[in-house]
Amino acid sequence: MIRLDKIQKKYDLGDTEVAALHEVSFEITAGEFVAIMGPSGSGKSTLMNIIGILDNATGGTYYLEDYDITALPDKEQARIRNTHFGFIFQSFNLFPELSAMENVMLPMSYAGVAYNERKKRAAELLDQVGLSHRMSHLPTMLSGGEQQRVAIARALSNKPNLILADEPTGNLPTDKGQEVLDILTDLHKQGTTIVMVTHNDAQGEMAQRVINIRDGLLASEVRR
Amino acid sequence: MNMKEDLTLSVRAMFLSPIESMLLILGLALSIGATASGFGMFGKAVEDGKQMLKLSEFREIVVRPKESAEDMLQPLVETSEDDDFNLDFEDLDAKSVSPAISYSYISSRTRLRINTSALLERIANREQPPEVQAEPQTEQSAQPTSPADAGQAQAAQPQQSQPQDGRPPEPSLEDLATVEGPEPTVDELAGYEVSDEFFMAMNINAAQGSVFTAQDVANGSKLLVLGANVAATLYEDGEAVGRQIASFDRIYTIIGALEETGTVYDDMFFTPSELASDSTGAQAARGPTGGGNESLHFSVDDATQLESAEAQLTSWFDSIYGVGMVSISVPREEAEAIISRNEKIAIITLVLALAGLLIASVNVSNILYSRTLRRRKQIGILKALGATRRDVFTMFLSEGGLLLVVGAVFGIAIVLAFSQILSSANGEGSFNYLAVALGVLVSSIITLAFTVVPALQAAKVPPAEAMRVE
Ligand SMILES: Nc1ncnc2c1ncn2[C@@H]1O[C@H](COP(=O)(O)OP(=O)(O)OP(=O)(O)O)[C@@H](O)[C@H]1O
Ligand SMILES: [Mg+2]
């Protein structure tokens, strides 16, 4: 599904350059559950950004379904992010001005889904993550766990092929984190590809494959 | 309304920072209001100027005797008898000096005192001394008249009609003419004595009846032509043409009512100039207001020929009355000076308003830019969820646009308030509303241009901002 070939990422800080990734190459097959692990500052988030085309690599080639998408125009990149990927962030990243329902509806509006259709699907998704009674609540009125479940519903709104989750449980107490993980495992069972960054070894065990990163290099890879 | 969620987001964000939004709107409203008012004032000045110069008065050259005030500047200098002169009807022949002059007429202000029944009654009372009136009838009939009494009463009557103590002679009852028909609603009218070409020069036609002719003027016919308002209000029934009016010992016939002109002429009457027919003695008979204020008017079709016609008239009058004896003026020149001054004032106001608009726009731009900085993360998330650069640009431009629309609405309210203040000061519409609309449009475009910059900045925020953890 995704193939990275010698991907490099250097941050230009004016007088110095920080190399966050050195020639990382690996592949993600459809239907996989991949965990990315490594110490703080090793480049996990940088790698996630590149996989999710939130950032462009400064070297190497990115293949999506065998197409070279290393340097696509903004509009195409936005479309891929919108319809192929679903993002789940450590700090939830919901819009505080919008209700749970509206947060879930938002990515569908960029996909051109009609209002009523958006609304219907958002209600279904919120129901699916167990929040049918919280649809018109603003994020500030929801607990952390509930907020992250809204974020998952939002990530699923355009039926993505790939879920990218950067430390999705990092801001949650253990039991709420477990709820989120259960949802992800369910999604994986239904056929969704998942790439998740985690610091937690136990969570890593749930993945089929663990990629260890150290100082911007692929240190080791464990398959189960 | 089913907005896209990113716009809902924008609108709610604006309500969540109400003070900032209100300051922005206030700034925009004031500057749009001021700019649009500036445009409206300028438009009005130009429009009024054009309108004013279209009036027939401003295609005329006016000739008057030199002001008597000027004579007083040199009272010690020996003055000849000829100094005290009036222009006369024959001077209208000066028309022939230039082919550009199409009409000429003589004009002087006058008033018409109407012999109303109230006036007649008052004079009748004055002629009957109060003693005689108060004398009881019963006493006269009951007692056989004593010779002394009878003689006194008879002597009293003729005594009364004699002028007393050198007072000016009052018109006596039998001198006053009277007419049949309904009573006019007023006892005095203001108007002009003019010669026949006045109506052609001013291009005013009769709406009813007719105006008087050269023949009428030459004959000294006692005719009246009424301005539109006078014609409509002089009699209670609104009918005037064909009726007669008595003034002192004369009877005037109303032969025409003029069409409405929107000028002072609507409230005036016009009667054939007596200078055209009268002997010199008539001057005195016309009473205290007649005479002395005659002016000759020469009217051209094409305003550009005013200057050459003026020069030709000047040399004509100089050759007859001597250099500098008459004053020749072109009202258009004075009007043009006033109009150009008004336009300049309007332009200065407009420039000041535009300066205000610029300051407000820069501020709007600044605040929107700082909003962009504060919202980098939000923009990053929007992009991660599928927003294109264009989507973000549109969203931020819409925010500016929304502020602008609300600001423009309040701005228009300010324009209306200004207009109210100005029109209560000068009694008429004070703005050209087409120009106001243009002003709103121009200031909106300028402000929108200033919101483009921060919107472009917002569109450039990278999607990776979404991943950053503070
Ligand atoms: N925008 C940036 N500009 C400059 N340097 C950056 C930027 N983002 C990341 N880096 C640097 O790149 C390296 C990798 O950062 P990254 O965020 O990928 O680490 P991480 O593995 O996600 O760490 P953590 O576990 O703390 O989230 C770090 O040295 C970091 O300082
Ligand atoms: Mg990270």
What's the complex ipTM?
0.96
Beta strand segments in B281-420, E: 295-300, 326-329
Q: Is A198 in the pocket of ligand 1 (CB under 6 A)?
A: no
Give the DSSP H or E segment for A217.
strand A217-223
Q: How far apart are CA B298 and CA B309, in angstroms?
A: 9
Residue A18 has pLDDT above 70, yes or no: yes
Q: Among all chains, which residue has been given the structure tokens 């002394």?
A: B148
Burial of A61 (0-12, 13-18, 19+ CB in 10 A): middle
Closest to A53 measured CA to CA, from A38, A42, A69: A69
Ligand number with the minimum distance to the CA of A49? 1
Give the DSSP H or E segment for B192.
strand B188-194
Residue A39 has pLDDT above 70, yes or no: yes
Residues 6+ apart with CB under 8 A from A60: A4, A5, A6, A7, A8, A23, A24, A25, A70
State whether A98 and B390 contact (CB < 8 Å): no
Note down the domain range covering A127.
31-53+74-223
State whether A54 and B464 contact (CB < 8 Å): yes
Q: What SS3 class is residue B233?
A: helix
Q: What is the pLDDT of residue A196?
A: 96
What does the pLDDT average to over A210-214? 94
Residue A80 forms part of a structural domain: yes
Query: Could you say which residues from 420 to 449 on chain B have a Cβ atom under 8 Å away from some Cβ of chain A?
Result: none
A78 touches chain B (CB under 8 A): yes
State whether A81 and B380 contact (CB < 8 Å): no
Residues from chain A contacting residue B2 (CB–CB below 8 Å): 115
Q: Among all chains, which residue has been given the structure tokens 């008017």?
A: B297
Q: What SS3 class is residue B328?
A: strand
pLDDT in tens, A21-31: 999 999 999 99
B389 touches chain A (CB under 8 A): yes
Q: How far apart are CA B403 and CA B151, in angstroms?
A: 99
Residue A160 forms part of a structural domain: yes
Residues 6+ apart with CB under 8 A from B299: B56, B59, B60, B61, B101, B102, B103, B104, B105, B201
- Closest CA in chain A for residue B382: A107
The amino acid at B53: L
Instruction: Mark B101-112 as b/e (b = at least 16 C-beta within 10 Å).
Output: bbbbbbbbebeb
β-strand partners of A40: none
Residue A5 forms part of a structural domain: no
Alpha carbon of A15 to ligand 1 centroid (Å): 18
Residue A154 forms part of a structural domain: yes
Q: Is A11 in the pocket of ligand 1 (CB under 6 A)?
A: yes
Mean pLDDT of chain A: 94
State whether B467 and A78 contact (CB < 8 Å): no
Q: How many CB atoms lie within 10 A of CB B21?
A: 18
Phi, psi of B283 (to 5 degrees): -50, -50
DSSP A1-45: -EEEEEEEEEEEETTEEEEEEEEEEEEE-TT-EEEEE--TTSSHH
Based on the structure, what is the number of domains in chain A? 1
DSSP A61-99: EEEETTEE-TT--HHHHHHHHHHTEEEE-TT----TTS-
Q: Is A9 in the pocket of ligand 1 (CB under 6 A)?
A: no
Nearest CB to B6 within list A49, A89, A106: A106
A166 touches chain B (CB under 8 A): yes
Alpha carbon of B41 to ligand 1 centroid (Å): 61
Q: How many CB atoms lie within 10 A of CB B248?
A: 15
**Roughly what angle, to the nearest 10 degrees, separates helices B18-54 and B331-374?**
160
Atom 6, ligand 1: which residue's CA is nearest?
Answer: A11
Residue A176 has pLDDT above 50, yes or no: yes
Query: Cα B378–B383–B389 angle (5° rounding)?
Result: 110
For residue A78, the distance in angstroms to the closest alpha carbon of chain B comes to 5
Give the DSSP H or E segment for A144.
helix A144-155
Q: Is A211 in the pocket of ligand 1 (CB under 6 A)?
A: no
Q: What is the four-CA torsion angle of B433, B436, B441, B444, rounded to 10 degrees?
A: -140
Q: How many CB atoms lie within 10 A of CB B14?
A: 20
Q: How far apart are CA A169 and CA A166, in angstroms?
A: 9
pLDDT in tens, A91-132: 999 999 999 999 999 999 999 999 999 999 999 999 999 999
Residue A65 forms part of a structural domain: no
Burial of B28 (0-12, 13-18, 19+ CB in 10 A): buried
A58 touches chain B (CB under 8 A): no
State whether B9 and A158 contact (CB < 8 Å): no
β-strand partners of A196: A35, A165
CB distance A105 to B5 below 8 Å: yes
Residues from chain A contacting residue B12 (CB–CB below 8 Å): 97-98
Please identify every stretch of chain B with a pLDDT value under 70, giving residue numbers as ranges.
1, 67-86, 127-172, 276-292, 424-429, 470
CATH number (domain holding residue A36):
3.40.50.300
Residue A181 forms part of a structural domain: yes
Give the residue from A47, A53, A88, A95 with the most B CB atoms within 10 Å of its CB, the best one to mutate: A95
State whether A107 and B385 contact (CB < 8 Å): yes
Closest to A77 measured CA to CA, from A110, A101, A126: A110
Distance of CA A128 to the CA centre of its chain: 19
Nearest CB to A109 within list B5, B16, B467: B5
